[in-house]
């Protein structure tokens, strides 16, 4: 199997290129290898497809993020034109599919069809697609760590229950479109800088459907959709984070005339926890102990996500020391292990003391160990930093 070229290399742009730069680079490559400019040239056809595949991924923020992190492996099963599951290279899409998806890139020079013999004469019914919906979902730390399922009531456009989403009053309420004679497309011959080019566009009368409604549904007025509600169950995996976006296919707005539903885009928001602070997949807990506990040692309880755990404070523990509870943090959303809980020790110093307590402290300050402690442990910041990674 031939190795796929880097998508940035295909379009001749640098990583970090803007959306406008990527679009301009694709248009340049597509015009260079366009089938009307290179009739019968199989190599140009493959480069044309390769450029379209690269643009499909790099122009989509979600696909681009996966590609930047995982390369071509991250596109497996990603859907659309890119990826191993039905991409251009796999033969799952025709040249006509490229034009229907990216025809506007050419600024009208090459519409939805072409005359290069790649299947431009094949007519197909245009399928409407509903718009996507975006919602925000707030999650507690416990829900993030364990994963959760949310049932949400979504206000959106749904299929009309009276006509079943068709928009017509009944089955006899249709007529063949006379503009396109039922094909859904009209063909034009236009003059471009490559010469005369045949283009195929959706019919302006029936909008690509090939037929028109003569008697519309009285409830939806011929649209096939009405405003309504739907209960959507969303499975949220463990390890998601603030700003992540999940896609629930087919749960967006319904499409006109029984088309394909849009998607539901779920934006994750984290509710701050009262005790634990997230740092990547680790959790940080600030533990306050007393001066006697720091000197003598102690057994104390600290919170975890699901319960509380006992940890041992060794005698002579210094302020700023970090204790690690391995594997008690947040699971990686991609399944690569789990973070830790980092317990940062703080020594709680009283703001005032009684006369007797003051006397005891003054006596301690004159003892050998307390005098040495101030000298030997001054400037030990690097030791404390090293202890963080143990």
DSSP class of residue 350 equals: -
Q: Cα separation of 390 and 319, whole Å?
A: 16
| Beta partners for residue 236, in sequence order | 148
At residue 85 the predicted structure's pLDDT band, cuts being 50, 70 and 90, is very low
At residue 145 the predicted structure's pLDDT band, cuts being 50, 70 and 90, is very high
Helices and strands per DSSP (H, E), number in the chain: 10, 15
Residue the block writes with tokens 């379209």: 52
Burial of 200 (0-12, 13-18, 19+ CB in 10 A): buried
Q: Cα separation of 268 and 246, whole Å?
A: 8
Confirm or deny that 220 is annotated as ligand binding: yes
Confirm or deny that 206 is annotated as ligand binding: yes
Confirm or deny that 242 is annotated as ligand binding: no
Confirm or deny that 264 is annotated as ligand binding: no
Q: Cα separation of 8 and 36, whole Å?
A: 25
Confirm or deny that 160 is annotated as ligand binding: yes
The first and second tokens of residue 156, run together, are 């959106």
Supply the pLDDT for residue 121. 39
Supply the pLDDT for residue 151. 94
Supply the pLDDT for residue 200. 79
Report which secondary-structure segment, H or E, holds 221.
none
Confirm or deny that 284 is annotated as ligand binding: no
Alpha helix segments (H runs only) across 120-236: 141-146
Task: List the Cα angle 255/258/261 in 5-degree steps.
Answer: 40
CB 232 within 8 A of CB 154: yes
Q: Cα separation of 267 and 333, whole Å?
A: 15
The first and second tokens of residue 320, run together, are 């700023």
Supply the pLDDT for residue 122. 40
| Beta partners for residue 344, in sequence order | 286, 322
What are the residues whose beta carbons fall under 8 Å from the beta carbon of 330, sequence distance 6 or more? 144, 145, 238, 239, 278, 280, 281, 282, 283, 338, 339
In this model, does residue 388 exceed pLDDT 90? no
In this model, does residue 127 exceed pLDDT 70? no
Q: Which among 348, 296, 289 has a CA at the least distance from the CA of 323? A: 289
């Amino acid at each position: 199997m031939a190795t796929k070229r880097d998508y940035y290399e295909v379009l001749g742009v640098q990583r970090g290129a803007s959306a406008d730069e990527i679009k301009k680079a694709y248009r340049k490559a597509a015009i260079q290898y366009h089938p009307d400019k290179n009739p019968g040239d199989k190599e140009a056809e493959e480069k044309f497809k390769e450029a379209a595949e690269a643009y499909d991924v790099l122009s989509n923020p979600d696909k681009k993020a996966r590609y930047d992190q995982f390369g071509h492996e991250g596109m497996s099963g990603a859907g659309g034109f890119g990826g191993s599951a039905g991409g251009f290279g796999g033969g799952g899409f025709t040249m006509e599919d490229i034009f229907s998806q990216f025809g506007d890139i050419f600024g009208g020079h090459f519409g939805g069809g072409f005359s290069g013999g790649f299947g431009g004469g094949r007519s197909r019914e245009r399928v409407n697609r509903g718009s996507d919906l975006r919602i925000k979902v707030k999650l507690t730390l416990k829900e993030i760590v364990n994963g959760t399922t949310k049932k949400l009531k979504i206000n959106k456009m749904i299929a009309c229950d009276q006509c079943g989403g068709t928009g017509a009053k009944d089955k006899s309420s249709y007529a063949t479109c006379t503009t396109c004679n039922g094909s859904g497309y009209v063909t034009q011959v236009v003059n471009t800088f490559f010469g005369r080019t045949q283009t195929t566009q959706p019919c302006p009368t029936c909008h690509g459907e090939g037929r028109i409604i003569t008697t519309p549904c009285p409830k939806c007025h011929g649209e096939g959709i009405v405003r309504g509600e739907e209960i959507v169950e969303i499975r949220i995996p463990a390890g998601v984070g603030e700003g992540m976006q999940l896609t629930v296919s087919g749960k967006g707005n319904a499409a006109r005339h029984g088309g394909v539903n849009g998607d539901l885009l779920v934006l994750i928001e984290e509710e701050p926890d009262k005790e634990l602070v997230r740092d990547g997949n680790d959790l940080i807990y600030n533990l306050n102990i007393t001066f006697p506990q720091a000197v003598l040692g102690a057994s104390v309880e600290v919170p975890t996500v699901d319960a509380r755990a006992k940890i041992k404070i060794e005698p002579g523990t210094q302020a700023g020391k970090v204790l690690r509870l391995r594997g008690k943090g947040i699971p990686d959303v991609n399944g690569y292990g789990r973070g830790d809980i980092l317990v940062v020790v703080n020594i709680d110093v009283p703001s005032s003391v009684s006369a007797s307590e003051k006397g005891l402290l003054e006596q301690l300050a004159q003892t050998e160990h307390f005098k040495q402690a101030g000298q030997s442990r001054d400037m030990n910041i690097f030791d404390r930093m090293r202890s963080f990674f143990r």
